A and B are shown apart, each in its own frame.
Chain A
Amino acid sequence: MSVQSFTIASSLAEALAALAVGARPVAGGTDLVVGARQGKAPLPESIVAIDRLEELRGLREASGRLELGALATHAEIASSPAVLEWFTALSDASAIVGSHATRAHGTIGGNVMNASPAMETGGPLICFGAMAVLRSASGERTVPVEELFASPGRTTAGPGELLVRIDLPQQPPGTGSCYLRLEYRRQMEIAVVGATAAVALEDGVVTHARVAITALAPTIRRVPAAEAALVGSDGNAQAAADLAAEAATPISDVRASERYRRSMTAVIARRAIESAVARAGGAS
């Protein structure tokens, strides 16, 4: 099976029309083309390049939220002052996707729609309550990113739907957040286990908490029990971290055994929560 059709869309309408008849989109190609070179999945028969669609680029502050165009690159997200200040965990995540080359061309849209259970930005997006805007030739709908991940490599988006934007809502005042992963190599690496935490404190008491685990289940997911343990506490991370470990359903694969992943979950979760608490308290 080889590529039979390749076009570079010069308008969103053109891209959506191509998707409606079965073309698959490519932007930076850092999952699609890499996967084909690795032998994981061949290139689609019909490809529409969407990387020239200016309206999908960039980050915008708008009416109480930060809008990420689907073509916003990890490099742009990691260095954005707004993301660093208000959504620090997302900056943590984008800063460690692949290498410089990956981050220069890899997009948040491709990252989300590739729906890897180990992708870095999913935990932060879910913890921040991010909303995904999907367009197709027949309309537009908005869905929480949390509801977009269906299973490894699969989203709940329908055929012909293109992710065009991710909206990050304003977080409770003073929210501190962190994403951490366990890795063997410093760059060009995939998480062995990952954890995200976002907390807000008032007078030393946690009033808001979100915790998510990565590479520990078929999809990246929140741990409500860990969140409940944090709310009302002084931010002590161990109990919540242990609950995150209990919620993990790791597998054994090339990177780690199930047993090792299970052992490491509480460690990484604790570190992520401690860092989030410190950042919420104003410490860097």
Chain B
Amino acid sequence: MKVSAMLSVNGVAYPVDIDPGTSLLDAIRDTIGLTGSKEGCDDSECGACMMLLDGKPVNACSYLALQAEGREVTTVEGLATDGELAPLQQAFLTSGGVQCGFCTPGMLVSATALLAAKPEPSEDEVRIALAGNLCRCTGYDGIVKAVLAVARGA
């Protein structure tokens, strides 16, 4: 069976017609076509699917899409403004926080949520805030450096 709903993603309203069991990740990638968020594990362990729901981080692979109706969803595509990279995105590039790029969307979203809630986190706070996001390439240092650089206003 299909249910009709409106999902607001990065400030844009998208009508969707989906099976109620559809995850937010699948609705946004497959139905809406925003493929920046990735599926790594499909059960909330890795954070590659991280999005913001009313500003709070959510593992979209394990959240029912229909529950997002009436809420504001932010994906990695919503971080840049008018084609200009957000400071956090630029910092990831400068600090060697990107290698294969698969974890990057989720990392950026988690870091965005952290800095919005806590503009000047300690390194430990950054590591804990990103501990729901797994990276297989960088060893995390470049990512943590990037977040701290933005926090310090660099």
Contact = CB atoms under 8 A, between A and B. Distances in A.
A259 interface: no
A58 to B, nearest CB: 16
Nearest to A101: B57
Contact of A102 (B1, B3, B19, B132): B132
B20 A47 contact: yes
A5 to B, nearest CB: 8
Interface stretch (B28-36, B43-51, B91-99, B146-154): B43-51
Given A26-B67, A37-B62, A47-B64, 15 more contacts: A2-B1, A6-B20, A6-B66, A8-B66, A8-B67, A29-B67, A30-B62, A33-B64, A37-B23, A100-B110, A101-B47, A101-B58, A101-B132, A187-B131, A188-B131
B9 interface: no
6 tightest A-B contacts by CB?
Answer: A99-B132, A187-B131, A6-B20, A104-B56, A3-B20, A101-B57
B113 A37 contact: no
A28 B43 CA distance: 14
Interface in A18-45: 26, 28-30, 33-34, 36-38, 43
Nearest to A33: B62
Contact of A99 (B63, B66, B67, B131): B131
* Chain B, interface residues (CB within 8 Å), range: 20 to 34
B103 interface: no
A99 B3 CA distance: 31
Contacts of B58: 101, 104-105
Interface string A182-196: 000111100000000
Contacts of A105: 53, 56, 58, 63
5 contacts: A26-B64, A29-B64, A30-B44, A33-B62, A188-B131
Among A26, A37, A187, the most chain B Cβ lie within 10 Å of the Cβ of A37
A24 B115 CA distance: 36
A38 to B, nearest CB: 4
A4 interface: yes
Contacts of A172: none
B141 interface: no
A24 to B, nearest CB: 12
A129 interface: no
A98 interface: yes
B28 to A, nearest CB: 15
B89 interface: no
- Interface of B, secondary structure class, is mixed
Contacts of B67: 8, 26, 29, 49, 51
* Chain A, interface residues (CB within 8 Å), range: 20 to 34
B129 interface: yes
A70 B58 CA distance: 19
Contacts of A186: 128, 131
Interface string B1-40: 1010000000000000001110100000000000000000
A105 B62 CA distance: 11
Among B42, B58, B70, B113, the most chain A Cβ lie within 10 Å of the Cβ of B58
Interface string A63-103: 00000000000010000000000000000000000111110
B61 A37 contact: yes
B123 interface: no
A38 B132 CA distance: 17
B56 A98 contact: no
Contacts of B62: 29-30, 33-34, 37
A122 B50 CA distance: 28
A8 B5 CA distance: 12
Given A101-B57, A104-B56, A187 B20 contact: no
Nearest to A186: B131
B59 interface: yes
A124 B50 CA distance: 30
Contacts of A49: 64, 66-67
A100 B64 contact: no
